[in-house]
Structure 1
Amino acid sequence: MKAALIVCALALGLAGCSEYSRQDRAVGGAAIGAGTGALIGAAATGTGTGALVGGLIGAGTGAIIGAETTPRACWARDAYGNRYRVQCP
């Protein structure tokens, strides 16, 4: 159980490192969702199959939520240091 909590804490820490890229946020969301889903599936069923199914469902849901919650306001700076809005990647 301690190992699972450590893995979840590390996943949450890594998720905070993602920028505003949809791909980065989808990967972070999938990692967090997979870990959380596996923990809930294992706790609910007490079997490895429950953990696997929960992890798969959590990964898919986390990837979708992570990608769709990406902020759309991206900024860049020109050669003079002035900020301007750009299309997000």
Structure 2
Amino acid sequence: MIWLTETREISPVDVTNISRRNPVETVRHSGHLASMSLADIFRDNAEDCAFLAQRSEDEETRCTFLQMEAAWRTLANQQERLDNKRWIVKKARE
């Protein structure tokens, strides 16, 4: 999830009302904190980048956010494969 704490003039993205969802509702489910896998967090970051790309006013910024979205989706897929893999751990030599 992207948290914007300040606005800088280098970005043409309008950051007023930038959040596409309530951050508290993102992490809470029925009053309890929800656990998210790394892959889910990466996908959430990809969605944030896509959201920001849609609202970008210039082509360079939009393309940057779309590249970041693709990178987060790639990381999510790789993390999901790692999560589903059985690991064989070698013992350290004594």
Alignment TM class, shorter chain as reference: 0.3 to 0.5
Superposition TM-score, scaled by structure 2 size: 0.38
Of Structure 1 and Structure 2, which has the larger fraction of its residues in helix? 1
Superposition TM-score, scaled by structure 1 size: 0.40
